[in-house]
Structure 1
Amino acid sequence: MKTTDITLVFQGAVKPYVTREHDDFARNIRLTRKVLPGARIVLSTWAGTELPPGLQVDAVVESADPGGLAPLKLGDSKANNINRQLLSTRAGLAAVETPYAAKLRTDCRLEHGGFIDYYREQLALDDGRDRLLASSFFTLDPSMFERLPFHLSDWFQFGPTPLLRDYWAAPPMSAKDARLYESQDHAAGSTVFERQFRARFAVEQHLCLHFAHGRGYTVPSFLNDVSDTVLMDYRRFLAQDAMLLDPWQIGLRFDKYGWVGNSPFQRLNNLMHLDWLALANPTLAGVADPAPLHALIEARRRQKALARGAFAHSRALHGLLFDPNRPHHPVRRLAARMVRHLARG
């Protein structure tokens, strides 16, 4: 695999100037070009978009905006943009002519190409069998705080171009599914985070479950369907068809969500590279000295088990602990210290 075998598809809205959030698409392209100088770059955005002058992309694909849906969560005001994301990603991937493709957001960039090295190593371990590489943030761990199986991150994805096209072939989300939990109760026992959802599935689930179902996996029938069969097949899907890398292993720089990497809560809530290794390569075949890595994986398991227990036993306090309007309450501060302690192991 050479860099000339890869096309980077940047998907999303673009502004020709540096925004108040400090988004700078022209900079993202310029810096990414330095990292992968041989790769092609495709921008997939909306018809009528004003582009920065001198933008260094190989192709621009413009699509008619299909519009947004009702906000994903009940307390949100921002539109659910899943159908926009589906349409523009598909259009960008349709313009790819190289064997491999990577899908990124326009507010991201690459600061190194580590994902290529990791992918090559995994190809060798798998005797040439391809996988879909994705970011650990936000690939949720359904045994933790948000029990949403098949929630594979869409921040960054890499793999053979036909595989990515298959992944992004899901049908649009219907207006009915986008509002399911306005008229229907969440499942009994849903956590405080799961009860926030308006839509039948999270955006990432909608994409992943259509792909996984087409490959024969048992997928959730509702948002937090954590039946034994679904969880077993989610683990099997991750072990056999996916590959998870942490953003710093990928080389992904996502300033807008820089806080996620520093959040002990999110490090526990998501499936990190260590968690994926435990699923995909439990014997650590191919690792020269597996003992230290085994020790890290075991420490991670204990860490998550303690966090799960603490979360389950504090259920009566969840309304207070996770109320964004009361960030300085003493109980919240105590819980935050506990999470930081657990995350450090």
Structure 2
Amino acid sequence: MNRFKDITVVVQGPVQTFQDRPQEPGITEKCLKSIREHLPGSKIILSTWEGQDLTGLDFDELVICADPGPNIRYFKLDGSPQRFNNNRQIVSSREGLKKVKTPYAVKLRSDNYLTGNHFVKLQYAYTERSEKHKYLQQRVVVSNVFTRKYAKGYPVAYHLSDFFYFGLTEDLLSIWDLPLYKNATNPEQQNEASVKGDFPIDCTQMFWLSALQKFNPSIAIKGLLDTSNGALVNSDICFANNLVIASPEQLGLGLCQKFLGEARISRTKGQCAQWQHTEWINAYKKHCTANSKINRIQLSLIKLWLTRMWHVFPTRIETRLKLLKWKRKFRKLI
């Protein structure tokens, strides 16, 4: 890599409050300035929506996307649609990445920013790979924010963050060049309780699974907490063999205000449920290196386990009660 000249940063998303998507004032300007500061010589592509005010924004190329609108993944039990911005994220990410001409690219949300460039070294710091579940040409560096190891108190598979990606442009396109998701249309069959004994697949699981299925159609789960058929092990191998997972501080990534302070993801309960870089290194050693011995007696991991004992595992009781409640409501619905 020729330092930062080989990198294009795709800043995707709204640059101001957009329909039902509130935006922190000035955050996109801060984002663009941070790229100039921490990746001097790189190119910036701003991939955003029609009708956005671009005054004062510093970028090299502009991609204006037609808004696909929110998508309905399922219905609530009261019959109201549950809308998401999945297709919006696909469109702004995909169309921006298609314009990249450099070998490496960053996918960065327009409401986040850079605090450093540590992710560049992380991308080539771990060179060993195995042949099992090796799908990308090189590893892609991602954030551990919303890359969950546990959800609702239980282990979870394929729950990869959609915040930040850095790697070969062709690999980022492999992940984000996805077809748009179709709207759910049947409230009785496509509702939040229709997955027996489970919750609907999370949006971030859905993105990653859609990417993996292009390489291996057999990779699938039925719901958020589905760990059948070796899903947890296969998920770990996919993470270890195709990614590098690290915290925002280790990456050089800054988050907007809605993910800080009292936000659920920034509390101890939210943070300790996420993959930690140390855990990813252990998965890397186990699944990708010749020396698969893992030093399990690590003070940081012991502390993490104790924190999860207090904040994560007790949530299982609440989860089971909610699923029982849903089961009763679903019986009445049908």
Give the TM-score normalised by structure 2. 0.78
Amino acid at match of 2:227: V
Amino acid at match of 1:105: R
Equivalent residue number for residue 148 of structure 2: 140
Contact kept? 1:72, 1:202, Cα under 8 Å: no
The 3-state SS of whatever aligns with 1:4 is coil
Amino acid at match of 2:49: W
2:92 aligned with 1:92 = no
CA–CA distance in 2 between the matches of 1:269 and 1:71? 25
Equivalent residue number for residue 274 of structure 1: 278
The 3-state SS of whatever aligns with 2:314 is helix
Instruction: Note the 1:1-345 alignment, pairs <5 A.
Output: 1=1, 2-15=3-16, 21-53=24-56, 55-70=57-72, 74=76, 79-123=83-127, 125=128, 130-142=138-150, 145=153, 148-176=156-184, 181-182=190-191, 184-188=193-197, 190=198, 194=199, 200-216=200-216, 218-256=219-257, 257-259=259-261, 262-282=266-286, 294-301=298-305, 303-304=307-308, 309-312=313-316
How many residues align structurally? 304
Identify if the C-alpha distance between structure 1 residues 136 and 175 changes in structure 2 by more than 3 Å, giving closer, same or farther: same
Aligned-residue CA RMSD in angstroms?
3.5
Question: Which structure has more helix as a fraction of its residues?
Answer: 1
CA–CA distance in 1 between the matches of 2:244 and 2:145? 13
CA–CA distance in 2 between the matches of 1:206 and 1:178? 20
The 3-state SS of whatever aligns with 1:45 is strand
Report deviation, 1:74.
4.2
Report deviation, 1:157.
0.7
The 3-state SS of whatever aligns with 1:187 is coil
Once the two structures are overlaid, the 10-residue window that deviates more, 242-251 or 136-145, is: 136-145
Identify which of structures 1 and 2 has the higher relative contact order when contacts are C-alpha pairs closer than 8 Å and 6+ apart. 2
Equivalent residue number for residue 330 of structure 1: none
Report deviation, 1:129.
6.3
CA–CA distance in 2 between the matches of 1:315 and 1:177? 27
Cα-to-partner distance string for 1:32-58 (whole Å, 9 max, x where unaligned)? 2111111111000112322023x2211
Q: Give identity over the alignment, percent.
A: 25
Identify if the C-alpha distance between structure 1 residues 114 and 246 changes in structure 2 by more than 3 Å, giving closer, same or farther: same
Amino acid at match of 1:91: E
Question: Which structure has more strand as a fraction of its residues?
Answer: 2
Amino acid at match of 1:26: E
CA–CA distance in 2 between the matches of 1:28 and 1:6? 16
* Structure 1, unpaired ranges of 5+: 195-199, 320-345
Cα-to-partner distance string for 1:223-281 (whole Å, 9 max, x where unaligned)? 33221422221111111112101011111111231235641111222112122122112
CA–CA distance in 2 between the matches of 1:115 and 1:293? 27
Report deviation, 1:152.
0.7
Amino acid at match of 1:4: K
Report deviation, 1:77.
8.8
Report deviation, 1:21.
3.4
CA–CA distance in 1 between the matches of 2:98 and 2:116? 26
Equivalent residue number for residue 332 of structure 1: none
CA–CA distance in 1 between the matches of 2:287 and 2:178? 35
CA–CA distance in 1 between the matches of 2:59 and 2:114? 15
Identify if the C-alpha distance between structure 1 residues 140 and 231 changes in structure 2 by more than 3 Å, giving closer, same or farther: same
Equivalent residue number for residue 326 of structure 1: none
CA–CA distance in 2 between the matches of 1:205 and 1:312? 20
CA–CA distance in 1 between the matches of 2:233 and 2:204? 19
Once the two structures are overlaid, the 10-residue window that deviates more, 35-44 or 309-318, is: 309-318
Contact kept? 1:141, 1:149, Cα under 8 Å: yes
Identify if the C-alpha distance between structure 1 residues 24 and 313 changes in structure 2 by more than 3 Å, giving closer, same or farther: closer
Amino acid at match of 1:119: Q
The 3-state SS of whatever aligns with 1:249 is helix
Once the two structures are overlaid, the 10-residue window that deviates more, 140-149 or 43-52, is: 140-149
Cα-to-partner distance string for 1:287-338 (whole Å, 9 max, x where unaligned)? xxx979833234434543565543345667879xxxxxxxxxxxxxxxxxxx
CA–CA distance in 1 between the matches of 2:304 and 2:34? 34
Contact kept? 1:26, 1:52, Cα under 8 Å: no
Report deviation, 1:89.
0.8
* Structure 2, unpaired ranges of 5+: 131-135, 324-334
CA–CA distance in 2 between the matches of 1:203 and 1:314? 22
CA–CA distance in 2 between the matches of 1:51 and 1:223? 38
Contact kept? 1:148, 1:205, Cα under 8 Å: no
Cα-to-partner distance string for 1:114-173 (whole Å, 9 max, x where unaligned)? 1112223124x5599611211101011147626542121011011100000010122211
CA–CA distance in 2 between the matches of 1:89 and 1:121? 26
CA–CA distance in 1 between the matches of 2:222 and 2:92? 27
Cα-to-partner distance string for 1:180-201 (whole Å, 9 max, x where unaligned)? 642753322x4xxx4xxxxx43
The 3-state SS of whatever aligns with 2:55 is coil
Equivalent residue number for residue 327 of structure 1: none
